[in-house]
């Protein structure tokens, strides 16, 4: 389970990772988050699911 105080930041990084081709390191970070918090957590952020806590700004 992702800590609440980090959920928005981590979700936003997971959302940005596949969209920022000039920062391939983000994909590596996304993989680490998937291993720690689960593929469902990363998928929810990547697909902008309502409960993902992605900062939309």
- Per-residue pLDDT of 2-50, as tens digits, reads 999 999 999 999 999 999 999 999 999 999 999 999 999 999 999 999 8
pLDDT at 55: 86
Pull the structure tokens for residue 1: 């389970």
CB 27 within 8 A of CB 18: yes
Q: What pLDDT does 42 receive?
A: 96
Q: Where are the domains positioned within the chain? A: 4-46
More confident residue, 35 or 1: 35
* Contact present, 10 and 1 (Cβ < 8 Å): no
Q: What is the pTM of this model?
A: 0.89
For residue 51, what are its two tokens?
């409960």
* pLDDT of res. 57: 82
């Amino acid at each position: 389970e992702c800590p609440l105080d980090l959920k928005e930041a981590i979700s936003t990084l997971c959302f940005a990772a596949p969209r920022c081709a000039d920062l391939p390191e983000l994909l590596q970070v996304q993989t680490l988050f998937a291993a720690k918090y689960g593929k469902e957590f990363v998928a929810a952020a990547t697909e902008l699911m309502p409960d993902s806590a992605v900062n939309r700004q």
